[in-house]
Amino acid sequence: MFDLLKVSSKSNPNSVAGAIANSLKDREKVEVQAIGAGAINQAIKSIAIARGYLVPTGKDICCVPSFAEADVEGEEKTAIRLLIELR
Amino acid sequence: MFDLLKVSSKSNPNSVAGAIANSLKDREKVEVQAIGAGAINQAIKSIAIARGYLVPTGKDICCVPSFAEADVEGEEKTAIRLLIELR
């Protein structure tokens, strides 16, 4: 299993990037979930920033996007899941 | 060299997905550029849809995000570039 990080439009990309890099210290994959354009924007920026943290340690990452259903306060919404794995 | 597809917030994700899948017929990589949350949202949806087109042909893709400077009508803007490669 791997971590699932939920990113919102108000998430700080630097903090999310730190969480991604941290998850990949002892795991090979981590997943990020985002709902809506603002959240997806923050998620992608976070992954770009996380690459900067990881590349000096000899690791690089890529992400595999897919659609997922997410329950948000009883309402079904279409989320984007970004599976992040070592490249 | 590989193609650079410019995606805007008004791009149709199905059309962009078709262009991505088509580029990867005879190349190993294609790059997508998006400026702003709306455009990045469309780009990521396009990549998720393109996976659906490609997986039945035995190919899967992942994307590597990075920041780039883009000149838009004389104004310098920060764009996101998504390098799409075979997984």
> Complex ipTM, two decimals?
0.95
| Predicted confidence band of residue A1 (pLDDT cuts 50, 70, 90) | confident
For residue B63, the chain A residues in CB contact (below 8 A) are 62-65
Verify whether the Cβ–Cβ distance B64 to A65 is below 8 Å: no
Partner residue facing A48 (CB), from B38, B60, B67:
B67
**Burial track A54-65 (b if 16+ CB lie within 10 A, e otherwise):** beeeebebbbbb
Query: What does the pLDDT look like over A61-85, one tens digit per residue?
Result: 999 999 999 999 999 999 999 999 9
Q: For residue B42, report the phi and psi dihedrals to the nearest 5 degrees.
A: -65, -40
Q: How far apart are CA A29 and CA A84, in angstroms?
A: 6
- Note whether A20 contacts B: Cβ–Cβ < 8 A: no
- Other CB atoms within 10 A of residue B77 CB: 12
The answer to whether A65 contacts B51, with C-beta atoms less than 8 Å apart, is yes
Residues 6+ apart with CB under 8 A from A12: none
* Cβ-defined contact of A44 to B85 (cutoff 8 Å): no
Q: Does A22 touch chain B (CB under 8 A)?
A: no
**Each residue's pLDDT tens digit, A15-70:** 999 999 999 998 999 999 999 999 999 999 999 999 999 999 999 999 999 999 99
pTM of the model: 0.96
> Looking at the predicted structure, is the pLDDT value of residue B25 above 80?
yes
